[in-house]
Structure 1
C-alpha cells in the first residue's frame, strides 16, 4: 500500500505540472487581463497608466517567464496578488474555503442519506411500485437542470413560505461566535444543500440499484439461497456488502466533484464560496484568482482519484493494489 501511494504521488507531479501549464495558458488567452477588469469604467485611470502598471508587474513579459514566476511562487503557497480584491490570492481563498467545504460536506451527507436507502429498496424489490417511484424520481433528477431546481426552491421556500433565507452564508447583523450566528449559518445552508443533493442523488441511486440487481443473479447468491440462508442475511451479508464497495470507492471522487462543482449552487444563492468567487473572477478578468482556483480543483481531482483507490483497497481486503 505504501509503495502504491508513493508511486501515485510521483505520477501526480507531472500531471499537476501539465495541468498548471494548460490552466495558465487558458487564463492568458482570456480577453483583457486583471488590470482591465480592475480599472474598467474608471475615468481617472488612463490607458497609458494601465500600460505602465502592466509593464511594472511583468504582464507584458513572454508567457513562459510569467509562468515560471507564477509556478515558483505557487509551490511556496503564493498564488500572486488579486488586483481586483487588492489582497493576496491565498488570503482571499482562505476566507472562502470554509464555506465551500461546509456546503460540500453536508451535501454529500444528504446525498448518501437519501440515495443509499432508495437504491437498496429499488434494487431489492425490482419492478415494484416503490421501484417505479424511485426510478421516476431518478429520471426527474437527471432531466432537471440544477439551476432550475434551485430557483424553484428559492421561490417556494423563501418567497412563498418565507421559511428560509436564500442569499449569503450568514446574517451580517449577527455577532460572530454567538449561538445565533451558528443558527444563521445553518439556516443559510439548508437551501443550497437541498438544491445540490436532491438533484445529485440519481447517480448513486441508479448505480446502487443496478449493482444490486446484477449481484442477485450471481452464483454465490444462488448458492447461499440453496443452503437455506435467510433472505435478509443474503442481502445484508452478501449482496449489499459487494454492492456498496463501488459506492465507497467513489467517495474520493464525490468529494472533489462537489468541491469543484459548486459553481452553480453558490452563484444562484450568492453563497460566498470558491465557486462564487470563480465566477466573479472570470467576470472581472482576475486571472490570478482563476488560475489558482482551477489548479486547486484539478489537483483535488487527481488526489481524489488516488483516495478512491485507497478506500476501495481498504474496504475490500481481496483487492491488492501493489
Structure 2
C-alpha cells in the first residue's frame, strides 16, 4: 500500500508540472492583463501603465515569466493579487475552506439520498417504485444545474423564506459559538441541496445497476438455495458487493464538487472559490485565477488517489503492491 501511494505521489509531480505549463499559457493567452482591467485608476497615463508593466515583469519573455512564477509556486507563493492588494494565498485561504465545507455537506446529502433510492430501485426493479426513481434520475440528467439552483432558491429562499439566500453566516452571531455553527450550516442548506439534487442521480443509477446485476450472480442463487433469509442475502451479499464502486467514487465526488462549485456559488452568492474564480477572471486577476486552477488540479489528483485507497481498503480482493 505505501509503495503504491509513494509511486502515485511521484507520478503527480510531472502531471502538476504539465498542468502548470497549460494553466500559465492559457492565462497569458487571455486578452489584456491586470493593468488593463478595472483595478487601475481610469485617469492614469499610458506611459505610467507601461512603466508599471515593466516593474511587474509583465513585458518579460514568456519563458522568463513562467520560470519566475513556477519557482515561486514551488515555494507556496502564488504572487500578489492585483485586485485585493494582498498575497494570493491570503485571498484564497478562507474561500477554500468555505467551498470544502460546502462540498463535504453536499456529499453527505448525496449519499443520504442516493443510497436508499438506489437500493429501492434495484431491489424492486421494473415496479412502480423503480419507475418513479428512474424518472427522477432522467429529469436530473436532463436539467442543468443552474435550473435546479434557481428553482430551489425561489421556492425555499424567497417564497417560503425558510433558509438564507446568500452569504455563509449571520452577522448577528458571535464566532466560535454553537449559534455560529448552526448559522453556517443553515446558510449551506440551499446550495448543498441544489448541488446534491443533480449529483445524486448518477450515484442512484450506478447503485441500481449494481444491485440488479448482483441479484443474478451465482453466489446469490447459492445463498438463496441454502435457505438464507432474503434480508441477509441483500445485506451480506448483494449490497456489500454493490457498494464497492460507490465507495471508490467518494474521492472523485468531493474533488468534483470543489472544482465544479462555480454555478452554485454564483447563484447563492456563496463566497467560495467558485465565486472568486468568476470574479478574478472578470477583473483579469491572473494570479488568483492560475492559483485556483492549480489548486483544483492538485485536489483532483488527490481525489483520484483517495478513491484508489478507499477501493483497496473496502475490497479485500484487491491487493495493491
| TM-score past 0.5 threshold | yes
Report the counterpart of residue 35 of structure 2 in structure 1: 35
Report the counterpart of residue 221 of structure 2 in structure 1: 222
Q: How does 1:162-311 map to 2 (within 5 A)?
A: 162-311=161-310
CA distance in 2, matches of 1:285, 1:77: 21
1:78 Cα deviation after fit: 0.6
Deviations 1:157-201 (A, max 9, x none): 122112211111123354433444333222211111111111210
CA distance in 2, matches of 1:2, 1:184: 41
CA distance in 2, matches of 1:321, 1:256: 23
Report the counterpart of residue 81 of structure 1 in structure 2: 80
Deviations 1:37-91 (A, max 9, x none): 2435x32322221111111010111111111111111111110000011110011
CA distance in 2, matches of 1:85, 1:124: 54
CA distance in 1, matches of 2:45, 2:125: 69
1:277 Cα deviation after fit: 0.3
CA distance in 2, matches of 1:196, 1:5: 31
CA distance in 2, matches of 1:120, 1:28: 49
Which consecutive residues of structure 1, in runs of 5 or more, have no partner in the other structure?
none
Q: TM-score, normalised by structure 2?
A: 0.97
CA distance in 2, matches of 1:4, 1:122: 37
Report the counterpart of residue 5 of structure 2 in structure 1: 5
Q: TM-score, normalised by structure 1?
A: 0.97
**Secondary structure at the residue paired with 2:228?**
coil
1:212 Cα deviation after fit: 0.7
Moved more, 135-144 or 43-52: 43-52
Q: Is the 8 A contact 1:249 1:312 kept in 2?
A: yes
1:25 Cα deviation after fit: 0.5
Total equivalences in the alignment? 321
Which consecutive residues of structure 2, in runs of 5 or more, have no partner in the other structure?
none
1:222 Cα deviation after fit: 1.3
Q: Is the 8 A contact 1:80 1:88 kept in 2?
A: yes
CA distance in 2, matches of 1:158, 1:242: 40
Deviations 1:94-114 (A, max 9, x none): 121121011001000000000
Does 1:18 pair with 2:18? yes
CA distance in 1, matches of 2:111, 2:30: 38
CA distance in 2, matches of 1:215, 1:259: 32
Q: Report the aligned-residue RMSD.
A: 1.2
Q: Is the 8 A contact 1:38 1:83 kept in 2?
A: no
CA distance in 2, matches of 1:250, 1:186: 25
Following superposition, which runs of at least 4 residues in structure 1 exceed 4 angstroms of deviation?
none
Report the counterpart of residue 131 of structure 2 in structure 1: 132
